[in-house]
Structure 1
């Protein structure tokens, strides 16, 4: 390794690592009914993310680094810029204020955990599973 790479890192090291979370893309309005029904059997997460926002990107990466509930929940990922209507429907159905980034835990058809920005914590989420 060259001195330059040892100080600044190689370009390979700077590439974002793949997520440890097995995200299910939330892209269709009908998926909301499916995930609400599924929440009666297993808790469901929804991570609402703005792909243009550095705060949202930081919150997402921080959550992914802390997340270790792989088999205990199904995790859905909502790109707010492409699917804002779905986000609006989530806010309407569950009576919650839209925020970005935002993490919701749905269990038995109800939101048990709702956090946004720096309040999104995987350890805090565990209390509601």
Structure 2
């Protein structure tokens, strides 16, 4: 299983965002109170367990608990905040994103393992 790191501070986000110049960064924005988000998190977790691309970094942001980080991500990658949401960042720019029911293990694999 690929390593999923929860980020909770702007400093952690800035470091991950800067590193996207070297390695793709996959951000999963998760609402811990939403059943749709729970389903998407399950799909994302299954992807990480079975077929995660080894050449990427994976981070989790809990949007309620870490609202400033979530807002900064939306601003930095110019993607309107939604949750659940998955965003792939390459070279400090959005490469791909999906939200809600579009977050499935199959969809993630099709994009990230091309």
TM-score tier, shorter chain, comes to 0.7 to 0.9
Superposed structure 1 runs of 4+ greater than 4 Å apart: none
CA contact (8 A) 1:21 1:64 kept: no
CA RMSD of aligned residues (A): 1.6
Please tell me whether the aligned partners of residues 2 and 54 of structure 2 are also in contact (alpha carbons under 8 angstroms): no
SS at match of 2:41: helix
Q: Residue 100 of structure 1: SS of its match in structure 2? A: coil
**Structure possessing the higher relative contact order (Cα contacts under 8 Å, 6 or more residues apart):** 2
Q: Deviations over 1:87-113 (max 9, x none)?
A: 111111221110000001111111101
TM-score, reference length from structure 1? 0.77
The unaligned stretches of length 5 or more in structure 2 are none
Between Structure 1 and Structure 2, how many residues are aligned?
109
Q: CA deviation at 1:32?
A: 2.0
| CA apart distance, 1:123 | 2.0
**Matches of 1:99 and 1:43 in 2, distance apart?**
21
Q: Which residue of 1 aligns with 2:15?
A: 34
